[in-house]
Structure 1
Amino acid sequence: MKKVSYLIHKPRFRCFSSSSRVTAISSEVSSIVHSVDPMEPALEQVVPFLSPEIITSVLQEQRNPYLCFRFFVWAAKRKQFRSWGSHNLMINLLVSDNSHLFDAYWRALEEIKSYGLRIPSDAFAVLIAGYWETKNAEKAVESFGKMKDFDCQPNLFTYNLILHILVNKGMILLALAVYNLMLKLNCHMNCSTYTILIDGLCKSDDMSDALNLFNEMSQRGIVPSKITYTVVLSGLCQAKRIDEAYQLFENMKTTVKPDFITYNALLNGVCKLGKMDEAFDLLKSFKKDGFDLDLNSYSSLIDGLFRAHRFKEAHDTFHKATNSGITPDGILYTIMIRGLCDEGRVDDAFKLIKEMTDKDLVPDTQAYNTLIKGFCDKGLLDEAQSLKLEISGVDNFPDSCTYTILISSMCRYGLVDDAQNIFNEMEKYGCVPSVITFNALIDGLYKSKQPEKSFHLFHRMEIGKNPFLFLRFNQGSDRVVERVTELCESGSPLEAYKLLTQISFLPTITTNNILINGLCKAGLLDAALNLFKKLKVKGNTPDSVTYSTLIHGLESVGREKDAIMLVKEMVENGCKPTPAVYKTLMKWSCRRNKTFAAFNLWLEYLKTVSKRDEEVIKLVENHLQNGEIERPMRLLLDMDIKSRDLDPAPYTIWLIGFCQVHKTTEALKLFAILKEYDITLTPASCVMLITTLLGESNLNMALEVFHYSLQKGFILKPRICSNLLRSLIRSHDMSNHAIELMKKMDSCGYDMDSIKWFKQGIQNVLTK
């Protein structure tokens, strides 16, 4: 979507009207501005002769910025003199020489104040917008806070402007505090106010409060605009609440007509979720409404196809776009770079950077970071480092994201010491580590069996640069909200802004999840549970990942009852168990020879999903109770396909579960059904099924499953390959199959050097 700046409704400034007197009057006014001090009383005498056009003309003629600012502030007091021409002229003047002209503007305000003259809110709106234009959000917030020192009450436009800045900086807590202040002051909000706040809540993953605010709009008699609907649609898609997004889209049609931005927002949301068949169906319905594919639509489709690993279709769609006259922009090129990297075609991705520059498109930080990640994912860490060094200093590159990519990749390849060196290098070059950077290194340290260092880094995060801040707010997030509200209401938004900036580097729930996962894997469940208990005290609410990690940890040490109790606690605390939680419980049920309990667990989950047919689920339960497998599996698959939400994971869990309890007949039935429905098994389920079949000397079926794995492009581990080949060689009836199998393995990319000794064994068999 576009920047939120377009969400702010603009004051109704007048348009210009031509006049033959403009030049003469402008000259007279300019003379007053230059020669009379103070100018304001003299200007009052010529008010009847002025217009927005004359005001802008005078501003354009001024060579003295200080006098220009004085005149603008005077003119802004009257609605009839306001225009976007003069407003934008002042912003452009301010940003043309950052600090010097901002100082001149402040001097003008102080001078006007000393004369006892009123300063309008629009004068500060220009100042705030100027600071924001120069990427100095802190100064923008400071300017907003100083309005009270000039006895200037913000108008709605200025409030909306500061809300927009706070939301863009991720300061949703402070934005909500400003909103509450507006309510207390009985400030009449408009659609833009709510749209900005809803957008901020959606981006903060707080969809519940976003929807509450959306409903509050209607209760206050404020009709949502197309932009409001678009923001909520995007938020619902981001939260994976696609059914609600569709419903909202249909409701929208009854009040306002969706535009291209709205259509693209819904399409982009569906594509981001990887539901590409659904996206193409959506396009068909859009076209009936007169929607044609544009650059944004093609970008969403190509991005979605790459995410779904439908690489050929993605490239075909790109060529279709360019052939139809679409000119790729930086965003689409970045999508293509990421897609090529995902394919392993890093060299081709690098060529796209050159193609961009040849077309006068300057690659931004995101494009370079995408390419660096591509190098890292392929293990080309030296090349990634070289690229970072080569383009350092270009467009604020490298940024914290660049360092995070390198640190995460080095940790993944076991180069934790190098990752620490890069982490230490960041601050030396003025790049502040983000929470994600800390999380990447903490995770790497834990996985490299350096728990002491990971906890040291964790505590460094907690304390940060202000130990007193940590001690003050170590009692929960409510205290932070309370303090931000206090500061905002006392007229100190800058202090609130600085506070939130400082605590933005405190450990998040993700950080705690990494530590809990590490403790669970080390078998230190009591320590993990102790950290879990401290979460709420520190203001971090456990999420589904926290619960899922602990449930898995408890199950792994045989504490099944504690795991079940934790699921109940999860529900009681308002955290809905995700499919991942049910899958964890299912896997452990299968390991304990409770395969049918695993079926029941998934059926319990399906009952909580809105699109699932309750009658079908009941029918499946009855068939399973009667010991049937084929009929209930087909019913479930048909229901999943109909709902367009097919997850192969539960089926592979059941298949592995059957193998674990040596119910080979049931496992083979399920294998055949999944093949029929073209559901791809995992390599792990293939290995388990082959192992079970070899144990029962069912070489024909073991060979069939292995051929299936070859067709799917799986490269199974040497051990299972060795076991299968050994069994074939030892079987007089099937020894020839070993030769054919080795040829196929070789053509499919297997490392045949690792099983050279089988060739000699086969030759011996053939000789005999």
Structure 2
Amino acid sequence: MATKLPPIFLFRRITLCVSRNHKFYSSYSSDSAPIRTETNLIPPKSKEVESAILFLKKKLHPDDLVRVLDSVSDVPSATAIFRWASRQRNFQHTAQTYAHMIWRLGTSGNSEQMEVLLKEMVKFGFLTVNSSFKFLVESFCTNQRTSEALKVFEIARLANLRLPVSTCNLLLRVLVSKTNNFGSVIFVYKEMVKAEILPDVDTLNCVIKGLCETGRLDSALIQFWGMEQKHCSPNSWTFELIIASLCSGGRIGEAVEIWKQMLLLECRPDCGFYARIIPLFCGANRTDESIKLFKMMKDDGNFPDLYLYSALIECLSENLQLKDAVEILEEMADLGISPCASSYVHIVHGYCKLGNVHEAMEFLNKTNNCPVEPYDALLSSLCDLDRFREAISLLKEMLEKCVGDGISWNIIIFGLCKKGNVRKALEVACRMVVLSNEPDNITCSSLITGYCRNTEFEKALYMFKQESVRDMFLDTRSCSELIEGLCHVKKIQEAAEVFYHIVSRGHSPSINSLSILISDNCVIGKVDEAIKILLLASANCCCFSSSIYTPIITGLLELNKDRYILHILAQMFVNGCTLDLRTYCILIHGLCMRGRSRVAADLFNQMVDDGLIPGSENLEKLIEGFAEGFSLKLVAHHLEKLIEAGVILRPLICNAIISSLLNEGQKFVACKFLDWMLGRGWVPDPDTHVLLVGNFDSEKKAGAMKLYDTDTDMVRYILAEGFTSYA
């Protein structure tokens, strides 16, 4: 019979076994190898370690060990002390000592040794192992050590330990708050289900939030509608998540319906719900719902902030409910909240939309300490309505109230220039200088626009050159108008100089002006210049349409430089530009005429595959080009697609197709086109008939007849009838 050992010897045997299998429990001695960490190499017998061991020798208890482990400055020293305690005959570790050592390892990023200790803690089967795992998950989550918390949770589940739902929810919340962690969220949720940890509303909210934030809104709705089956009732946060996601996804109707259900369930929104949902409803122009929520918020004792007030005023102004908007503005003033300048601007725009400019003026006059922006908004509206006399009068009032600035002057100057009234704009500009407001780039840009609108392009160019010398930045709008105007009067070189000035500032003109400049350069034969302009604009991230490339392609074809066309096509595709129908037709016809039929055929087939169907006239022109180059067989299949799509061809072109296909040795395909002609009641001409019938030997003719024996009699009859006029 085996001798029964005292418990202390049993524990000694266990620790000895562990020490043989795990490096972590290697014995502590003076000649031990130093501990290797990620950051440094610290010998285990440091002064701090010796001092701690000396203290613990007098009083080795788990609580004392925990205090020492927490007090040492670095993890390697703590590890050495923990190992030393494991070797002591009269000491036994507890779940608490393990948990503190695991915590030190985890926070230092030593996940490998942390995992070893976690498994050891499970193996020893401490009574408080569950609470230790709970402590570790929550501590790592609180300190944003997400991967460590997830690893502790994973090992707990492998050991079939059941953590409290609150701990799992904390882990879920941390995971959801991080990006690219949705897979981990699902993992935790599934493990909770396996462990029969009943989810509560916080659990499901985390899952719903993760689904919404990863674009799985429909799946989130499934979870939302299934909450009752899980014996959970949605709370304010649940509704906030779903409604906000629906609004962001443009599904405002569904969002409003779920909000109405929230009211039916008497689920009272919290402050966060109001702050998030009211601006979303305002942005979607759901005025009634926004006002109702706004009143509910105040009834609940929650006062809106500046952002929420501003969103509501904007919504009401956009929907021309100006009386309500002004009342809210006054409410803000009563509460001591200073409105944003944009709130005044929205109200002014609302009055101007209704044509109530006088009411807008009265509104501004009644407002104390009104900023300059709403006055400028009213100035712009007056200029747009050609009410310049009133605009100038308003500007005088603004200057008297000391609210006018350079922008206010420029609004009137630009308004006059936009209407072509440069003389009056110059008078205003002179008055501006007299009152110590220096003209800036906006002033000069406006005057250039005015000269262009008056077709005074020479004056506009002169001003442009003056400001370029002063290194003043002119806006792209006025420069674009100048480019178009100079091209109109055939000053192409000067227009190009304006373009180069804009590009040197890192900008590009409008697409329309760029298209005109490129086209006009190609017309005068400067295709190389046009390509240079195109490449510079492309380098400035300008987005093009295929119409910009068309003049260059046409110019290259006219100059017999078709070898460069493939480079232009490559540039188009790099810029994400697709060919339109017109460009396709120009390219295909031009390449055919220059003997590049195979490239032209590839483009034709691609055009048809892209669903672009040319008109009958253009198609016939392309067919003639392929026929002249003896390459109609390369596009025959796609020609059939066009015919099936309903394209109508004249009998003359059909005869040409059949003749060309026969000349290219495509007799079977030619017969298919003949059948198509006959099916529409058209008769081939004598030359086509001779090619189809006269050149076949008897054996081949018999084979062909077998293919069409159902129509043989009809074919013979039609052909015979058709030749009576040629007898």
Q: Answer yes or no: same fold by TM over 0.5.
A: no
Bigger radius of gyration: 2
Q: TM-score range by the shorter chain?
A: 0.3 to 0.5
Which protein has greater RCO, CA pairs closer than 8 Å, 6+ apart? Answer: 1
TM-score normalized with structure 2 length = 0.35
